[in-house]
Structure 1
Amino acid sequence: MSDFMKSLSKIAIPVTLQSMLQASFSIIDQIMIGQLGEVNIAAVGLYGNFSLVFSVVIGSVGTVAGILIAQFTGADNEREAWCSLNVSLLCGALLSVLFLLAAGGFPAQILQLYTADGRIQQAGTVYFKTVALAYLPMALSTVLSAWLRCKEHAAIPFWASLGAVAANTGLNYLLIFGKLGFAPMGVQGAAIATLVSQMLNFLLILLGFVVCLRRDGSHPLWTLHFERITLRAYGGMILPILLSEFLWSLGQNVESAVYGHLGTANLAAYTLTCPIQSLIVGALSGLSAAAGVMVGKHLGKKTYDAAYGDARRIMLTGLVGAIGVASLLVLFAGAYTNLYRVDADVQTLGKALLVVFALYAPVKVENMILSGGILRSGGNTRVIMIIDTIGTWGIGIPLCLLAAFGLHWGIVGVYALLTTEEIFRLAVSLVIFKKRSWMISL
């Protein structure tokens, strides 16, 4: 095996497995809650839509932490790497508290933005209030995981996720359906299971972090003051990512609201496909993380040709993998939707949506590798913000509204039309990639 493949596998495989395990949180919840009917499926799905905003915001903090830690590690500057970690942990904690106050304090008002169905609002409120408490451990886990990947300890977050998924599955079974003496709690039981499993995930990552520090002989530096860059420069990297990811996730929520207004059956069909979509993207997300770390270290060393060469090889690997995974999804889409106890028309719509998603999957994965890993590794995050904002709000949302309320298409047609914005993202990103203007050493 070549050095490139060894480095890629060491980061990509654990991250991929971790992402798939995290995506399985939603799949396990929805399959089990799916036994309770469409209302509960929709309620949990709407929480997922709101939580997506939090996930991308905290993911932005983790992304900037990864950019800086990778470059400073490549340049053998441990002090700046530690400062990057500390500042990112502080930002993540502050943002998580804000989302906790919103989701825990105003769940009914948030749910009213998505649906007018009082039954869904009632079930969703119960779920929101409990799972919101998981935001802080999720934020800290994200930043610590970025450090561990850059230090080539990517297996630690994977094993932590494995333990968390096992706990989530077991607690779901006990609390949702009332097994082994527990009272059946339905949606509330699923919320408690998710909260406990996310807290366990954080504790395991923290334990692994401490063990790795001792093994590497590394000593923490508790400083928030950069020497090589300024806090303004840090803000200049994180703010464009925060803005673009927030606007993208807000766009996803607008799309979900459109689906909700197409009827409960359409919303349920879309909701039951979301976890498998996350799982498929997660199956190849390790390549994006590996690209950010590997290319970032090359940029820190100022070995630009090596950075460009590795980036091209990672993109090719992602394309081949995406085509293979998408083909499997087309074959097994019907088997997946049949796992849910919902009406036949909901299953049919869900299957069609998964097929459309599979057709776009290679483009989505290439965008993820380019925008989420390669182009950001140099720290110039503004161009990604521009691409994402135009793609979502200049193309995706207008097409979604046109298809739903202008052309009066069904959910499959709406979803297929709005997803064409992924093609725009890829075309522009490839042009920027070939110009090499993104290759910046911090």
Structure 2
Amino acid sequence: MKTPLLGNRRFYENVIIIGLPVALQNLLTTSASMVDTIMVGTVGETAVAAVGICALFSMLLFAGYFGFCNGGTIFFAQYWGAKDEKGICKAYGITLITMMTVGFVFGFFAVFFPELIMGMYTDKEGIREAGIPYLRIVGWSYPLQTLAMAMGSLLRSIEKVKIPLFASIASLITNTILNWLLIFGMFGFPKMGIRGAAVGTVIANVVHILVLYIYCLNDKYSFITRVREHYGWEKGFVKTFFSKIIFVVFNEVLYGVGQLLLNMIIGRQVESGIAAWAVFRVLEGFVFAFFGGLANASSVIVGKQIGAGEHLDGYRDAKRFVLLVPLVTLTIWSMVLLLRSPILHLFGLGEDAYFYAQGMLYIYMVTGTIRTCNYINNNIFRAAGESVFGTVIEICGLFIITIPAVALFGLKLNAPFLVVFGLIYLDEFLRIGILLWYMNSGKWVKPVTETGKAELPVFRKIVKGKL
């Protein structure tokens, strides 16, 4: 069955309406991280590396709750397509509880055991000492960050994409102003250095949640404020929910553990390489700003179509996303490379760190393009109700191929830093062919709604060429 590669006007209108606000929101989040890193860079390269290490723990937090968030999105989008408001409320309630549990656990360890966390990520004493006070403060933002993610995920899934964007704008403005006041001690505020950046992050997250909640009080589709409908789940619903998301959760948790191991190896490389790694992560966020918008659009568009029983449309749009996403990644990263010199000089890097950062940018032009292609495949599988196949392929590749290779070259052979960095993406090259084959097969269409299930046999016959 042939699928138009470039899509049609309807497809791109939906991508822009749903994906662009999310991309802008992600861009604002990345800009906040960039502002933090640039301002902290005035304190010194060690401070930049310390904030980068703390950001790695935040990424582990993200891996911990994102499985529940992504799993909840499966139900939000499909129930939205089937116009099942009670289903949306129940799915949000169980998603919120699971996500907030993760947020509070990570916040507890960050606030009360920052020494343990910093020691886990790096053996560099100066970086550990600089990061401990920052992590102890920023840990208070973790439950807030998790709550904002849960609220924003639901709003985006029901195509209310502008409000999370406005909340991110308010959060960025708050964070930038407070960073300036507290890092440098402006207008009589205490000069807190790296701790000031942490305080700004906490308060900015409070502002983010307030903007979201105030909007929800006045919206007729405000499933977030219908608290009584969030709970009292039927036994069958809980079983169905966890049966669909359990592999998504395992995927994100195991992926997070894998990234933790890789980051521990990076944290034991040369100090200038660690500083360059922190800057690279910020710049990588610009790619993922646009990629995140497209990924969210794919979840909503494809998930809604599958939930409504429009499987053929979902199948065609899924293929279009698989082509569109790597092209966008390549385009954005090419722009970053063209502007690499003025961008990298903003962060106060030394000569060695600058060299490493520049090399990482070149390597990621290839590896990042392939990586986002793999990710969008797995993201679409999940939105359509298939959470097992992509998980098994991703986790096996990470733990069987990538981690052993990075550990061997990074810890045993003491390979050059850029070689160790490049090996982090080794499994991406091996997974792409398998994921593209599975995408083309259409076997990933597994609806959770009754409407979607009823149309599945006809779709299967169409894909197999029997109709």
Do these two structures clear the TM 0.5 threshold for a shared fold by scoring above it? yes
Alignment of 1:131-210 (within 5 A): 131-210=138-217
Q: In structure 1, what is the equivalent of residue 452 of structure 2?
A: none
The residue type equivalent to 1:360 in the other structure is: T
Q: In structure 2, what is the equivalent of residue 335 of structure 1?
A: 342
Which of 84, 87, 90 aligns to 2:91? It is 84
Quote the Cα distance in structure 2 between the aligned partners of 1:133 and 1:123.
Answer: 18
Shift of 1:277: 0.7
The residue type equivalent to 1:97 in the other structure is: F
Q: In structure 1, what is the equivalent of residue 4 of structure 2?
A: none
Q: In structure 2, what is the equivalent of residue 423 of structure 1?
A: 429
Quote the Cα distance in structure 1 between the aligned partners of 2:432 and 2:289.
Answer: 19
The residue type equivalent to 1:181 in the other structure is: G
Quote the Cα distance in structure 2 between the aligned partners of 1:335 and 1:425.
Answer: 35
Q: In structure 1, what is the equivalent of residue 134 of structure 2?
A: 127
Quote the Cα distance in structure 2 between the aligned partners of 1:439 and 1:70.
Answer: 14
Question: Is the aligned partner of 1:66 residue 2:78?
Answer: no
Percent same amino acid among aligned pairs? 25
Alignment of 1:28-427 (within 5 A): 28-213=35-220, 221-226=228-233, 230-372=237-379, 374-427=380-433
Q: In structure 1, what is the equivalent of residue 15 of structure 2?
A: 8
Quote the Cα distance in structure 2 between the aligned partners of 1:421 and 1:13.
Answer: 30
Quote the Cα distance in structure 1 between the aligned partners of 2:226 and 2:273.
Answer: 53
CA contact (8 A) 1:319 1:365 kept: yes
* Deviations 1:368-420, CA, capped at 9 Å, x for gaps: 22112x11012221222212211211111112112223443211111112312
Shift of 1:219: 6.0
* Deviations 1:181-218, CA, capped at 9 Å, x for gaps: 112100110000011111111111122222333689x9
Quote the Cα distance in structure 2 between the aligned partners of 1:439 and 1:191.
Answer: 43
Quote the Cα distance in structure 2 between the aligned partners of 1:76 and 1:382.
Answer: 26
The residue type equivalent to 2:52 in the other structure is: G
Against the structure 1 CA distance between its residues 285 and 215, is the aligned structure 2 distance closer, same or farther, given a 3 Å change threshold? closer
Runs of 4+ in 1 over 4 A off after TM superposition: 218-221, 225-229
Question: Is the aligned partner of 1:26 residue 2:42?
Answer: no
Quote the Cα distance in structure 2 between the aligned partners of 1:97 and 1:71.
Answer: 29
Shift of 1:318: 1.4
* Deviations 1:93-112, CA, capped at 9 Å, x for gaps: 22211111111111101111
> Could you tell me the TM-score, scaled by structure 2's length?
0.90
Quote the Cα distance in structure 2 between the aligned partners of 1:214 and 1:378.
Answer: 23
Q: In structure 2, what is the equivalent of residue 437 of structure 1?
A: 443
The residue type equivalent to 1:162 in the other structure is: I
Shift of 1:227: 5.5
Against the structure 1 CA distance between its residues 167 and 385, is the aligned structure 2 distance closer, same or farther, given a 3 Å change threshold? same
Quote the Cα distance in structure 2 between the aligned partners of 1:260 and 1:414.
Answer: 12
CA contact (8 A) 1:65 1:85 kept: yes
CA contact (8 A) 1:80 1:227 kept: no
| The 10-residue stretch of structure 1 (236-245 or 45-54) with the greater mean CA deviation from structure 2 | 236-245
Against the structure 1 CA distance between its residues 78 and 244, is the aligned structure 2 distance closer, same or farther, given a 3 Å change threshold? same
The residue type equivalent to 1:130 in the other structure is: I
Against the structure 1 CA distance between its residues 167 and 223, is the aligned structure 2 distance closer, same or farther, given a 3 Å change threshold? closer
Size of the aligned set, in residue pairs, is: 440
Partner-residue secondary structure (3-state), 1:285: helix
Structure 1 unaligned regions, length at least 5: none
Quote the Cα distance in structure 2 between the aligned partners of 1:221 and 1:431.
Answer: 44
Partner-residue secondary structure (3-state), 1:381: coil
The residue type equivalent to 1:412 in the other structure is: L
Against the structure 1 CA distance between its residues 67 and 51, is the aligned structure 2 distance closer, same or farther, given a 3 Å change threshold? same
Shift of 1:223: 3.7
Quote the Cα distance in structure 1 between the aligned partners of 2:124 and 2:423.
Answer: 27
Shift of 1:293: 0.8
Quote the Cα distance in structure 1 between the aligned partners of 2:431 and 2:36.
Answer: 32
CA contact (8 A) 1:56 1:246 kept: yes
Shift of 1:228: 9.8
CA contact (8 A) 1:213 1:219 kept: no
| The 10-residue stretch of structure 1 (47-56 or 359-368) with the greater mean CA deviation from structure 2 | 359-368
The residue type equivalent to 2:287 in the other structure is: I
| The 10-residue stretch of structure 1 (233-242 or 394-403) with the greater mean CA deviation from structure 2 | 233-242
Partner-residue secondary structure (3-state), 2:148: helix
CA contact (8 A) 1:288 1:370 kept: no
Quote the Cα distance in structure 1 between the aligned partners of 2:194 and 2:281.
Answer: 18
Shift of 1:291: 0.7
| The 10-residue stretch of structure 1 (253-262 or 26-35) with the greater mean CA deviation from structure 2 | 253-262
CA contact (8 A) 1:171 1:193 kept: yes
